[in-house]
Every structure is written in structure tokens, then in C-alpha cells.
């Protein structure tokens, strides 16, 4: 265990009110774009891309207008503003006055020391030397070393005394695996919000909203399953089915040579789509009020809202995400669907591939029990890579479980990850899994 103490405000930092005349001139100047940039920041929430763009533009604008006699300091959060990691970005108190992450910045802390307790994520894992670990919390310039919280801008817990965790790269990959990452384009992995631990499934923006509706409308979904064998199903179009086939090939659910799987695939997604179209909020008749239909009309931008490099209509996208996100619902589907159809045994094999384990027709009770397992969702952890020069080429920048925010070259024999677990109790979940 290592304790990093980030102490008081940096000595010599000037209160921005002492330069009020300079700031007033900059705000009142007709040539200055600062008022527009500040208005843009105010009009957006701090966790949005628009806020970050406006904040970065304001930061750059103010830096270009710093007085030559200003007392300058090294910006400890240059990566958040998009500056190169190896650059030295100097700021003065005028820049800091309008900084987008001012409240969390170590330059602006007023006598608020914090203690960061760094522990092993797994007791049996290795631990990097303390001197090398401390490099993650230091911003160096020619004349000074500034201690700061490197997770500012990436964690709501930043600049608060808390626990951080270290794990070796090899053990992290063993535990979090994520073989499914290979199914997705690297660009898509940049936009995931988190993951489900048991199935190792990444969560995209559209997934989060669907999972909320699945939970809120659980009784309506149950009615949809129960009515499967009695309902007249409307078919899906050839265009929709060709899209489902392409996605299924990418996911490894079918092979081009397996013609007998095609009909089973079509029947499965025909039923899934019909369940979605039949979902109703209690007390409503109009399907437009179901929430599912509304969601199906929202943005489905490829590689951003959904993980694939092409898209189809909203309902078909939700159907595909549903079977991937909730394999227990695929099992529940097998319990309630028409078992006397000629494609049922083939459909069972297809569903086994989708859920990632072997299923059998005589397994109904077990399937129901499996479907009751609770999912365990976690955010995508911001992490710092601690490695040596030889380990740089082996770093994976596109991981489901972690988002690389910095790379520290250190005197270590293996690669480590320093994690902020975002206040989630991941260690207990792993221990009990």
C-alpha cells in the first residue's frame, strides 16, 4: 500500500482578483471571442462534449492573451484540454479563472490536502516500486514538480481522499478478458460507457437507455414472452434480415455455409421484434407511448450509438442489442417460444452460440433459473498505464473495462494499470464471482 499526499495550493499562485483590470479588458474587447466561449460553456452541462470543446477553446484563447509579466505555472491537466502529453503548457491565474475544471484543479485548491491510498486490486498480485508509482502523480517542468490528481476530468471522485488500485496488465486481462472486443471496431470501443461483468459485454449509449426500459417495463416484457406461442407474428423484411445476417456473421453466431441456420435466425429475430413492438406502458394502448418505440426513433449512429459500422431501423437495432446484452432473456425466449416448429432444434443451437454456452431442449427448469441471475454493471474505469520502454508496443488503447488516460514510462519489470474504480466495489464482485 502506498499513500500519496497532495498538499496545499501551489506557493506563489496569484489570486485572479489581483488581475481584475486585465480580465475586464479581455472581456470587454470587441476582438475577444471569450464572452461567446464562456456563454457556450454555461449553456452546456459539464459532462458533455460541447462543454469540453468550449472549455478547451476558452483555455487556448486565454493562453494566447496572457500578459508577458504574468506569473505562470505548468498546467497539470493539459491532457483534458487536448494538448500533447509531452508538451509543457503554461498558464497564469487569468487562464485558471475561466478554466472548465477549475473546481477540481490542484492549482486552485485552497488548503485542501487529499490523501490517495493506493492498494493492490488482488492481494496475490505484484506491486510496482513506490518511487515509480509516484510518477503518476507528478507533473514536471524545468523548474518545478507539481503533485496533482491525474484523474481530474475523468472521475467525479477526483481531488477527494479515496482509494485507487493497482493491477498487473497480465492479471487485468485474465480477469476482464473481453474476447468479444475483437467483434467490434476500435472506433466503437471509444464510445462505450461501461460493461457487464458476468458476460463481459460492452455497454454503448443506446444500451443504457434500453436496459433502463427493460427494467421499468419488466411486467410488459414478461407478457410478451408468455404470449409467444399464441401470437401471430409479423415477418421481418428481406432487407432487415440481410442486415441481421451480416451482424450475425461478424459476431460468430452463424457461418456462410450453414444455410439451415438462416431460417432459424429469421424466426428468432421475427419473434424478438414482435415482442418489442408489443411492449406497452401500463394503462396505455398507443405503442408510441411504450418507450421502446420512442427509443427506436433516437440516434443510431454507427460506431457511436451502436457498435457496428452500419445500421438498420431502430427496432432491429434494439433487437440485436437485446440478445447481446441480456443472454438470460434469450434463454427465457427458448422456454416460451413454439417448440414444435421444425426449426426449434436448430434455433437452440443458434441461441447457444449467442449466449455463449450449450443449451438443451430438456433444460427448461435450468433455463428459467439461469434467467434470474442478476447482471453486474460497471463503468469503464479510467486508468494509467505504468510500463517500461519495451512494453509500449503491447499496450491496448481500446479496452472495454478501462480507458487509458495516460502512459507513464517507469523502471518496472512488467506493465501495471493504476485504476480509479469510480466508487464501484469491483473487488468484492470479483472475489465473489
pLDDT in tens, 388-400: 999 888 888 878 8
SS3 labels along 36-95: HHHHHHHCCCCCCHHHHHHHHHHHHHHHHCCCCCCCCEECCCCCCCCCCCCCCCEECHHH
| Domain spans in the chain, listed from the N-terminal domain onward | 21-108, 113-197+377-433, 200-371
What pLDDT does 168 receive? 93
Per-residue pLDDT at 25 exceeds 70:
no
Per-residue pLDDT at 371 exceeds 70:
no
Which has more pLDDT, 52 or 362?
Answer: 52
What pLDDT does 384 receive? 94
Global pTM exceeds 0.85: no
Which has more pLDDT, 281 or 22?
Answer: 281
Per-residue pLDDT at 367 exceeds 60:
no
For 336-357, the pLDDT digits (tens) are 887 777 778 898 999 999 988 8
DSSP structure class, residue 302 = B
Average pLDDT rounded to a whole number, residues 244-253:
93
What pLDDT does 17 receive? 40
What pLDDT does 51 receive? 84
Residues paired with residue 163 on neighbouring β-strands, in sequence order: 117
Run of H or E residues at 203: strand 201-203
What pLDDT does 174 receive? 85
What pLDDT does 114 receive? 79
At 180, the pLDDT band (50, 70, 90 cuts) reads: low
At 32, the pLDDT band (50, 70, 90 cuts) reads: low
Which has more pLDDT, 233 or 425?
Answer: 425
Continuous H helices in 183-289: 186-189, 205-216, 218-226, 238-251, 259-277
Average pLDDT rounded to a whole number, residues 279-305:
78
What pLDDT does 365 receive? 47
Average pLDDT rounded to a whole number, residues 284-298:
75
CB 101 within 8 A of CB 75: no
Amino acid at each position: 500500500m502506498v499513500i500519496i499526499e497532495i498538499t496545499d495550493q501551489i506557493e506563489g499562485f496569484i489570486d485572479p482578483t489581483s488581475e481584475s483590470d486585465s480580465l475586464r479588458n479581455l472581456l470587454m474587447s470587441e476582438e475577444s471571442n471569450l464572452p461567446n466561449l464562456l456563454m457556450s460553456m454555461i449553456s452546456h452541462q459539464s459532462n458533455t462534449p460541447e462543454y469540453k470543446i468550449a472549455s478547451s477553446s476558452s483555455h487556448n484563447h486565454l493562453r494566447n492573451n496572457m500578459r508577458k509579466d504574468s506569473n505562470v505555472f505548468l498546467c497539470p491537466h493539459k491532457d483534458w484540454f487536448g494538448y500533447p502529453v509531452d508538451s509543457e503548457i503554461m498558464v497564469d491565474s487569468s487562464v485558471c479563472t475561466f478554466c472548465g475544471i477549475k473546481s477540481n484543479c490542484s492549482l486552485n485548491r485552497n488548503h485542501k490536502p487529499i490523501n490517495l491510498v493506493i492498494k493492490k486490486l488482488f492481494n496475490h498480485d505484484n506491486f510496482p516500486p513506490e518511487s515509480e508509482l509516484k510518477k503518476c502523480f507528478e507533473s514536471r517542468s524545468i523548474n518545478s514538480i507539481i503533485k496533482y490528481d491525474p484523474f481530474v476530468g475523468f472521475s467525479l471522485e477526483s481531488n477527494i481522499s479515496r482509494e485507487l488500485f493497482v493491477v498487473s496488465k497480465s492479471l487485468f486481462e485474465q480477469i476482464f478478458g473481453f474476447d468479444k472486443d475483437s467483434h467490434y471496431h476500435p472506433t466503437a470501443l471509444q464510445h462505450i460507457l461501461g460493461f457487464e461483468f458476468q458476460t463481459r459485454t460492452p455497454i454503448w449509449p443506446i444500451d443504457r437507455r434500453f436496459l433502463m426500459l427493460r427494467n421499468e417495463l419488466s411486467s410488459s416484457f414478461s407478457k410478451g414472452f408468455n404470449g409467444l406461442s399464441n401470437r401471430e407474428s409479423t415477418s421481418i423484411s428481406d432487407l432487415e434480415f440481410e442486415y441481421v445476417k451480416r451482424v450475425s456473421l461478424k459476431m460468430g453466431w452463424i457461418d456462410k455455409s450453414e444455410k439451415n441456420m438462416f431460417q432459424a435466425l429469421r424466426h428468432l429475430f421475427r419473434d424478438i421484434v414482435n415482442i418489442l413492438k408489443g411492449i406497452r406502458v401500463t394503462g396505455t394502448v398507443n405503442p408510441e407511448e411504450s418507450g421502446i418505440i420512442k427509443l427506436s426513433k433516437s440516434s443510431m449512429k454507427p460506431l457511436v450509438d451502436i457498435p457496428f459500422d452500419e445500421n438498420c431501423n431502430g427496432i432491429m437495432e434494439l433487437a440485436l442489442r437485446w440478445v447481446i446484452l441480456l443472454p438470460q432473456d434469450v434463454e427465457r425466449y427458448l422456454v416460451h417460444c413454439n417448440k414444435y416448429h421444425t426449426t426449434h432444434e436448430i434455433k437452440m443451437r443458434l441461441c447457444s452460440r449467442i449466449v455463449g454456452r450449450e443449451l438443451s431442449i430438456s433444460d427448461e427448469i435450468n433455463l428459467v433459473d439461469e434467467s434470474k441471475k442478476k447482471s453486474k454493471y460497471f463503468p469503464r474505469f479510467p486508468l494509467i498505464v505504468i510500463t517500461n520502454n519495451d512494453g509500449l508496443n503491447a499496450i491496448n488503447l481500446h479496452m472495454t473495462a478501462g480507458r487509458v488516460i495516460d502512459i507513464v514510462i517507469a523502471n518496472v519489470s512488467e506493465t501495471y494499470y493504476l485504476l480509479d474504480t469510480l466508487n464501484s466495489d469491483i473487488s468484492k464482485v470479483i472475489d465473489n464471482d
